[in-house]
Amino acid sequence: MSAFRDLMAFQRETEALAQIAGRLGWDQETVMPPGAADQRGEEMAAIEGVLHARRTDPRVGDWLSRAEATDAAGARALALIARTYGRNAAVPGRLVSEIARVTSVAQGIWAEARARNDVAHFLPTLERVVALVHEKGQALAATGYGGGDPYDALLDDYEPEATAASIAAIFDRMRPRLVALRERILGADRHPAPLSGHFAEARQLGLARDLATAFGYDWNRGRLDLAVHPFSSGSGNDVRITTRVVEAEPFNCFYSTIHETGHAAYEQAIDQAHLMTPLGAGVSMGVHESQSRIYENQLGRSRAFTHWLHGQMHAIFGDFGVGSPEEFYRTVNRVQSGFIRTEADEVHYNLHIMMRFDLERALFSGGLAVADLEDAWNTRFARDFGVAVDRPANGMLQDVHWSVGLFGYFPTYSLGNVYAGCLHRALRADLPDLDTGLAQGDARPATEWLRAKVQRYGGLYAPAEVIERATGAAPSEGPLLDYLEAKFGAIYGL
């Protein structure tokens, strides 16, 4: 057997073990009994230790030195394995296991603190998580990753080739137009009414399943469950989604479901030839987020699709206070300075991300202590959004990400929005009759275009290359900002 075949066989087993680790995480967030948290931490530490040992196995280095690919897919797989091998070799195995153990337990502590609105309950754990992840960033930076910068080294884990400086430059270009648009909207004479009423959980979940189906989710290879913080888990032939239900706020459930369906559809659509290889998953979190955001916003909140959704809600819930499809479209896209990132309108969403990005950079540069994070959050939020945070669950405790050590992850959400803007412009150009199907609840023309242009390739191409190949142009923030100004200018009569 050749070095290439030996390496790929070894890699297949590693990928299988990584899927098992992911399934443990899904279980923890959905059905694991709360008393199992400490034991699950030990289990996660054990499996991450095994994975780290495999990813740094000297045989991998030997195989890489001798392996020869026969096609572009093989060459890309070798490059990705080499990248993973180098990054893992830079981080001590005991640190990997400790991060897995601590973050597994931290999830439960965060959930308790969030439910109790008790930041003090979470801070000691968060300090430990930040210290461990900072140590990981320093270990990577010491061997050249991230150009020697610990935060960039962490960011590179989620969006290869991106840097804090490059993202900050994008944000600096986006912020003035977003703030100007927000101010024009908030000063407008026309304001859509909010949705109000009671929407039973069982009926919400039934419609959520219909929405996932409308956007192409394959139920034979997936399932829908409830979680505190919605997420998608898995790849290939086992890709699961979660949502959450607030009986007074059905859009929370519906658009979280569509969002996670976008993530899951990406994983389900990857070419089966890439299954259980380094190419068998989304290439970056930014590209991943482009799929969830275009499903949720440009498609799911479009005039055509919301007109169909209005009819579905009437059929399921009866008269719910929004009389016409056009009024419903405006209600779905209502702009307000809310606290919660996952519920934010398209105008405010990126401002939520920019705030988190700046706070993360301050934490890792030494300019902000964990003990001062709540005050920093509340001060920045009041400045950016014009309202004071009323309780920690609506402030720094709202997101799960920091409890599980995902520093460098947040900026990829806005990169995903930028990519989605580029993809949407190209999609509309290729499918001028798209709204005809969306008005019938049929998103297949759009989802099939995305499968063909983006999703099927998995990790075959670098993130920016994926977008450029799909759209014919390098990624830029222009299409997203043009779309937002046109859409909300029309809704608010600007």
Active site residues: 260
Locus of tokens 């509309």? 428
Identify the CA nearest to 455 among candidates 268, 289, 274, 286: 268
Radius of gyration (Cα) for the chain, nearest Å? 22
Residue 47 amino acid letter: I
Query: Coil, strand, or helix at residue 226?
Result: strand
Under 8 Å CB-to-CB from 220, ≥6 apart: which residues? none
Smallest CA-to-CA distance from 493 within 73, 119, 104, 185 is with 185
Return the C-alpha torsion angle 483, 488, 489, 491, nearest 10.
130
Hey, what long-range contacts does 204-210 have (CB within 8 A, 24 or more apart)?
Answer: 204/245, 204/247, 204/250, 204/253, 204/254, 205/243, 205/245, 205/253, 206/316, 207/250, 207/254, 207/312, 207/313, 207/316, 208/243, 208/253, 208/254, 208/257, 210/312
The amino acid occupying position 143 is: T
Letter for the amino acid at 372?
D
481, 174 contact by CB (below 8 A): yes
Q: Which of 397, 404, 288 is nearest to 22 (CA)?
A: 404
Contact assessment for residue 270 and residue 456, using Cβ atoms and an 8 Å cutoff: yes
What share of residues in the chain are helix, strand, coil (percent, to 5)? 70, 5, 25
Instruction: Sort 20 into a burial class: Cβ within 10 Å, 0-12 / 13-18 / 19+.
Output: exposed
Question: Which tokens hold the place of 245?
Answer: 């239900």
Contacts of residue 451, Cβ cutoff 8 Å, sequence gap at least 6: 216, 265, 269
Residue indicated by tokens 């890439």 = 274
- Beta pairing partners, 324: none
43 class by beta-carbon count within 10 Å (0-12 exposed, 13-18 middle, 19+ buried): middle
Q: For residue 92, which phi and psi values (nearest 5 degrees)?
A: -60, 145
CA nearest 301: which of 411, 418, 215? 215
Kindly state the DSSP code that residue 249 receives in the 8-state scheme: -
Q: How far apart are CA 137 and CA 151, in angstroms?
A: 6
Measure the CA–CA gap between 412 and 399, rounded to whole angstroms. Answer: 15
Nearest to 399 by CA among 365, 444, 360: 360
